[in-house]
């Protein structure tokens, strides 16, 4: 496997050449600093560009063209990545050997037609396509509360720090959707293709020079490259007494989400110690939380902790009966305190390190996981897989105890399930 | 025995152990990871049977196969299987469907230890009154978690309404009430009947040597004693062609109504074709009719009936195939009517058929890059057809438009069951 980063004027091209896979995958990322209003625009744009284009008027036309290209898998999304908003387009296609014909140029020219030749007339997006996407987004807003897990997580983010970009909803906002028109969306589109930071990642059995030549031919981008700022969200203060917010719902199960702020972590702690800490606390069915809250006290089916590097946040989640709220929080807090007291052993650390090493090796089996590591390296300065494997084994018990002191229980959110279970 | 997956650069190795257990291996030296599954051909469907060594049929509480899956993680020495896999850096899990229960792990290192341990813990049942009781609270939360998911509820209710007697209609995990009556004796009864090695199989995909896998399983099994005779008698249900209930509306915590509709298809008449081909042709047909490339989806969007896609799912229930559609829609009745009309007019174009064939072929090639997908493909083939078809690529390539039309013409699409989830505050 060989990696090359090529400066192609307005964007960076990252080519990972490997014969391990029968497919080629491409990811085109547009990113800019996150603002609350932009989220809805970017979401709209990511959808409308795959709904209709000048050459492919309807989503059906696009879907048929994808199937003709040996079932090209095409998708778009927007994600909130700390202080940034990333709009990305991903494609996966059979490589030329298995398709039996040269695919690279066909696929790249097709994607380019969708992104750079949108269905626009008189500086306005096509109204039919616009209305389809608008309705989809309105339905998404309407059904926002239908997913209790996702809703509870975002409510916890909101309560944690109302001023932080972390509190923004990934879907966007109804009031922002209401002011989007076919014209102002096109204006926004123009600002994206001229001023967003663009990175293109491609992995598979490809030739560097050929890919570069094809991209230069089809991707008409005129952005000006600027230095980026940090994705990481830093917390400066935390609540001495954690804040508890409860909401009622008609679900039968209650969702418990706890936000734990990480303050003043060193890069080593953030990249490595936190991963080991979280694995021991609630990262697997062998974890402290799983064994105590689930197995010993039968309070839940799932309970887990996850450290979010970009957000400097440890999130603990569980699904419980609302009557057990106090007991569950008490048990979780006890395990959390036990980490600070060093009540875990060397075997726990060893198991967490072995699992981490194992997942590093598994990354190399999946094109999308490999691309993720290069994206993280580009945006977050993450280490290479080799460095990760060398560094993780350096984490020791003292590191974990020291880190535990930097974690602060901040916000507890409970979506109470008041619904009655009927079989 | 070695079989090559033609045109896909992979091979399948099959072995039979003396005690009747089957082993399937697809080696792939390009990847680092190894994925191993150990399954019994026993799921929530088999709830009335003659226990091993007995003569009379017995019925067990609903949800017991899934309960058993949870309890096999309990070991007499108190060791937690998850801890062992975790020490080896491996991911472990288990799952239960209507037809099978699978225990699994994936990991790069310690393969021999992991595989031996997988076989050992599944083959060492240890149930006590206390550990059975403890599990009830955990499974109650699992049932409630799924109960809150509209899509899950919809599919479960449609399947329930489609069948009169076949226990495929029963929810996999049972209900909060049904699991309360489960005892350790019930668990041993089911275990001793369905976990005989002759009813089980191992599938390993990834960076392994097939003969080594066989040796590990062979040596492991040689240390264990099982009754050499194995016979299994599970109650047969003479399921009717019609559906048990055609329409139902339930209320849930949703803002936009959701519709689930199932077509119950009797495939007994199509004796000229094998099951695999019938199912592939049906998949092609429904795909042409309801995917993003269909005129149906395009027109439903234009007419404000749906804003997104239609999800589909196929349930293979022996003599019957259920094809299931799901969508969010503010106009449930119109959606159902338009979908039914589209299916009932069996028209498909040759152009669509040829393009979809290309898609299916491409999907097989892509699946071979993924050890998890290949493992599932082998397991599902064993459960549905009793063997693995390694010539699937050529087989799909040989499919013809004329045959598709013949299959469709010989199937009745009249038996349907629909469930609508309405918002709790609606008046409908």
Kindly report, as residue ranges, where domains of CATH 3.30.830.10 are found in chain B: 2-231, 247-423
pLDDT of the residue at B381: 95
At residue A8 the predicted structure's pLDDT band, cuts being 50, 70 and 90, is confident
pLDDT of the residue at B352: 97
Q: Which CATH fold topology does B2-231 show?
A: Cytochrome Bc1 Complex; Chain A, domain 1 (3.30.830)
Q: How far apart are CA A118 and CA A279, in angstroms?
A: 45
Contact A298 B134 (CB under 8 A): yes
**Helix runs in B183-324, H state only:** 184-194, 210-222, 275-290, 295-302
Nearest CA to CA, how far is A378 from chain B (Å)? 25
User: Cβ of A239 under 8 Å from any chain B Cβ?
Assistant: no
Contact B371 A365 (CB under 8 A): yes
User: Cβ of A7 under 8 Å from any chain B Cβ?
Assistant: no
Q: Of A126-135, B224-233, B366-375, which gets the smallest average pLDDT?
A: B224-233
Q: How far apart are CA A327 and CA B114, in angstroms?
A: 36
Average pLDDT value for residue range B4-8: 85
C-beta separation of A156 from B263 below 8 A: no
Nearest CA to CA, how far is B298 from chain A (Å)? 7
- Full DSSP string of A2-46: EEEEEEETTEEEEEEE-SS-SEEEEEEEEEEE--HHHHHHHHHHH
SS3 A63: helix
Average pLDDT value for residue range A312-339: 96
B32 closest CB neighbour out of A23, A143, A361: A361
Q: According to CATH, what is the number of the domain A2-218?
A: 3.30.830.10
Under CATH, to which class is B247-423 assigned?
Answer: alpha beta
Contact B108 A358 (CB under 8 A): yes
At residue B270 the predicted structure's pLDDT band, cuts being 50, 70 and 90, is confident
pLDDT of the residue at B428: 60
Tell whether the model's pLDDT for residue A164 goes beyond 90. Answer: yes
Q: CB neighbours (10 Å) of residue B388?
A: 19
SS3 A200: strand
What backbone phi and psi angles, to 5 degrees, belong to A228? -90, 165
SS3 A226: coil
User: Cβ of A142 under 8 Å from any chain B Cβ?
Assistant: yes
Average pLDDT, chain B: 94
At residue A81 the predicted structure's pLDDT band, cuts being 50, 70 and 90, is very high
Q: Which residues of B touch A359 (CB under 8 A)?
A: 89
B145 closest CB neighbour out of A60, A142, A319: A319
Residues facing A23 on adjacent strands: A94
pLDDT of the residue at A225: 66
Task: Compute CA B120 distance to the chain's CA centroid, rounded to the nearest angstrom.
Answer: 24
B69 given a catalytic annotation: yes
Q: Which residues of A touch B301 (CB under 8 A)?
A: 59, 132
Tell whether the model's pLDDT for residue A13 goes beyond 80. Answer: yes
Tell whether the model's pLDDT for residue B324 goes beyond 80. Answer: yes
What backbone phi and psi angles, to 5 degrees, belong to A294? -90, -65
Tokens 């009430």 correspond to: B177
B89 closest CB neighbour out of A148, A321, A357: A357
Contact A252 B144 (CB under 8 A): yes
At residue A10 the predicted structure's pLDDT band, cuts being 50, 70 and 90, is confident
pLDDT of the residue at A101: 84
Tell whether the model's pLDDT for residue A3 goes beyond 90. Answer: yes
* Selected residue of B179, B250, B253 to mutate for chain A interface (largest A Cβ count, 10 A): B253
pLDDT of the residue at A204: 96
Average pLDDT value for residue range B80-88: 91
Contact B32 A364 (CB under 8 A): yes
Nearest CA to CA, how far is A252 from chain B (Å)? 6
E strand or H helix at B355, and its extent? helix B350-367
Q: Which residues of B touch A145 (CB under 8 A)?
A: 253, 255
Identical fold between A2-218 and A243-417: yes
Tell whether the model's pLDDT for residue B78 goes beyond 90. Answer: no
Q: How far apart are CA A127 and CA A124, in angstroms?
A: 8
Closest CA to A147 of B210, B32, B256, B124: B256
SS3 B201: strand
Average pLDDT value for residue range A66-90: 96
Q: How far apart are CA A60 and CA A42, in angstroms?
A: 22
Tell whether the model's pLDDT for residue B169 goes beyond 90. Answer: yes
At residue A419 the predicted structure's pLDDT band, cuts being 50, 70 and 90, is confident
Tell whether the model's pLDDT for residue A227 goes beyond 90. Answer: no
Domain covering A243-417: architecture: 2-Layer Sandwich (3.30)
Average pLDDT value for residue range A21-33: 96
Per-residue pLDDT of B175-205, as tens digits, reads: 999 999 999 999 999 999 999 999 999 999 9
Nearest CA to CA, how far is B422 from chain A (Å)? 12
Q: Which residues of A touch B374 (CB under 8 A)?
A: none
Per-residue pLDDT of A98-109, as tens digits, reads: 888 889 999 999
Per-residue pLDDT of A271-290, as tens digits, reads: 999 999 999 999 998 899 99
Average pLDDT value for residue range B213-240: 93
Average pLDDT value for residue range A147-165: 95
Domain boundaries, chain A: 2-218, 243-417
Nearest CA to CA, how far is B149 from chain A (Å)? 7
Q: Which residues of A touch B371 (CB under 8 A)?
A: 365
Contacts across the A-B interface (CB distance below 8 Å): 172
Tell whether the model's pLDDT for residue A228 goes beyond 90. Answer: no
User: Cβ of A70 under 8 Å from any chain B Cβ?
Assistant: yes
* Closest chain A residue to the Cα of B290, Cα to Cα: A60
pLDDT of the residue at B27: 97
Which residues of A, range 201-230, sit inside 8 Å of B by Cβ? none
Q: Where are the beta strands (DSSP E) in B337-401?
A: none
E strand or H helix at A376, and its extent? helix A367-380
pLDDT of the residue at B272: 85
Contact A300 B92 (CB under 8 A): no
B293 closest CB neighbour out of A64, A139, A146: A64
Tell whether the model's pLDDT for residue A226 goes beyond 80. Answer: no
A421 closest CB neighbour out of B91, B147, B302: B147
Secondary structure of B63-118 as H, E, C letters: CHHHHHHHHCCCCCCCCCHHHHHHHCCCEEEEEECCCCEEEEEEECCCHHHHHHHH
Q: How far apart are CA A37 and CA A184, in angstroms?
A: 13
Average pLDDT, chain A: 94
Average pLDDT value for residue range B129-156: 93
User: Quick one: tokens of A134?
Assistant: 């608008």
């Amino acid at each position: 496997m060989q990696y090359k980063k090529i400066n192609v004027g307005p964007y960076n091209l990252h080519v990972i050449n490997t014969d391990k896979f029968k497919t080629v995958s491409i990811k085109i990322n547009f990113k800019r600093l996150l603002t609350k209003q932009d989220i809805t625009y970017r979401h709209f744009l990511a959808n409308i560009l795959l709904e209709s284009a000048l050459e492919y008027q309807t989503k059906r036309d696009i879907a048929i063209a994808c199937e003709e290209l040996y079932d090209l898998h095409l998708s778009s999304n927007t994600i909130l990545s700390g202080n940034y908003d990333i709009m990305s387009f991903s494609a996966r296609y059979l490589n030329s050997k298995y398709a039996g014909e040269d695919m690279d140029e066909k696929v790249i020219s097709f994607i380019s037609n969708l992104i750079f030749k949108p269905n626009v007339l008189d500086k306005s997006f096509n109204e039919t396509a616009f209305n389809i996407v608008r309705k989809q987004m309105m339905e998404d807003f309407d059904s926002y509360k239908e997913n209790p897990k996702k809703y509870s997580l975002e409510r916890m983010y909101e309560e944690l720090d109302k001023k932080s970009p972390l509190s923004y909803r990934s879907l966007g906002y109804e009031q922002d959707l209401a002011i989007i028109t076919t014209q102002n969306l096109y204006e926004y589109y123009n600002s994206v293709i001229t001023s967003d930071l663009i990175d293109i990642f491609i992995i598979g059995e490809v030739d560097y020079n050929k890919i570069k030549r094809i991209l230069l031919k089809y991707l008409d981008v005129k952005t000006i490259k600027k230095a980026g700022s940090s994705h990481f969200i830093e917390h400066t203060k935390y609540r001495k007494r954690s804040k508890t917010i409860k909401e009622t719902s008609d679900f039968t199960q209650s969702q418990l989400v706890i936000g734990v702020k990480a303050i003043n972590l060193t890069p080593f702690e953030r990249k490595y110690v936190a991963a080991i800490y979280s694995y021991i606390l609630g990262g697997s069915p062998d974890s402290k939380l799983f064994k105590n809250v689930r197995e010993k006290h039968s309070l839940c089916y799932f309970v887990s902790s996850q450290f979010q590097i970009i957000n400097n946040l440890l999130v603990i989640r569980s699904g419980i009966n609302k009557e057990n709220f106090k007991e569950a929080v008490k048990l979780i807090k006890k395990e959390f305190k036990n980490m600070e007291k060093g009540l875990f052993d060397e075997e726990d650390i060893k198991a967490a390190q072995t699992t981490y090493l194992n997942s590093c090796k598994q990354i190399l089996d999946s094109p999308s996981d490999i691309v993720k590591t290069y994206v993280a390296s580009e945006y977050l300065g993450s280490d290479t897989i080799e460095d990760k494997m060398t560094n993780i084994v350096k984490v020791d018990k003292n590191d974990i105890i020291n880190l535990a002191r930097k974690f602060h229980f901040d916000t507890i959110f409970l979506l109470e399930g008041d619904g009655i279970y009927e079989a | 025995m070695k079989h090559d997956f033609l045109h896909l650069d992979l091979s399948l190795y099959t072995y039979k152990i003396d005690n009747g257990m089957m082993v399937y291996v697809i080696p792939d030296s390009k990847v680092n990871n190894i994925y191993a599954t150990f399954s019994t051909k026993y799921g929530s469907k088999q709830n009335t049977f003659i226990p091993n060594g007995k003569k009379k049929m017995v019925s067990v509480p609903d949800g017991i196969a899934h309960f058993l899956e949870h309890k096999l993680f309990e070991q007499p020495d108190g060791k937690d299987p998850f801890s062992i896999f975790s020490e080896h850096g491996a991911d472990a899990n288990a799952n239960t469907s209507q037809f099978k229960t699978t225990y699994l792990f994936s990991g790069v290192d310690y393969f021999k230890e992991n595989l031996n341990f997988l076989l050992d813990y599944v083959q060492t049942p240890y149930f006590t009154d206390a550990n059975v009781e403890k599990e009830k609270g955990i499974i109650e939360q699992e049932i409630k978690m799924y109960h809150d998911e509209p899509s899950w509820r919809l599919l479960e209710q449609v399947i329930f309404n489609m069948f009169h007697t076949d226990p495929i209609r029963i929810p996999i995990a049972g209900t909060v009430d049904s699991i309360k009556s489960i005892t350790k004796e019930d668990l041993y009864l089911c275990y001793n009947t369905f976990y005989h090695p002759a009813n089980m199989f191992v599938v390993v995909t990834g960076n392994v040597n097939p003969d080594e896998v066989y040796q590990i399983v062979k040596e492991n099994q040689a240390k264990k004693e099982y009754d050499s005779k194995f016979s299994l008698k599970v109650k047969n249900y003479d399921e009717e062609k019609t559906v048990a209930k055609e329409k139902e509306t339930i209320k849930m915590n949703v803002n936009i109504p959701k519709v689930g509709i199932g077509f119950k298809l009797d495939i007994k008449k199509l004796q000229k074709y094998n099951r695999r081909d019938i199912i592939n042709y049906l998949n092609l047909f429904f795909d042409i009719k309801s995917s993003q490339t269909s005129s149906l989806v395009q027109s439903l969007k234009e007419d404000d009936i749906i804003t997104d896609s239609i999800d589909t799912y196929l349930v293979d229930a022996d003599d019957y195939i259920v094809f299931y559609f799901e969508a969010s829609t503010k106009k449930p009745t119109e959606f159902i009517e338009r979908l039914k009309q589209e299916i009932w007019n069996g028209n498909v174009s040759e152009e669509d058929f040829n393009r979809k064939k290309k898609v299916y072929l491409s999907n097989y090639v892509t699946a071979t890059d993924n050890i998890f997908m290949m493992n599932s493909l082998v397991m599902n083939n064993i459960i549905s057809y009793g063997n693995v078809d390694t010539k699937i690529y050529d087989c799909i390539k040989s499919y013809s438009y004329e045959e598709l039309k013949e299959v469709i013409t010989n199937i009745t699409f009249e038996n349907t069951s629909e469930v609508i989830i309405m918002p709790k505050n609606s008046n409908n």
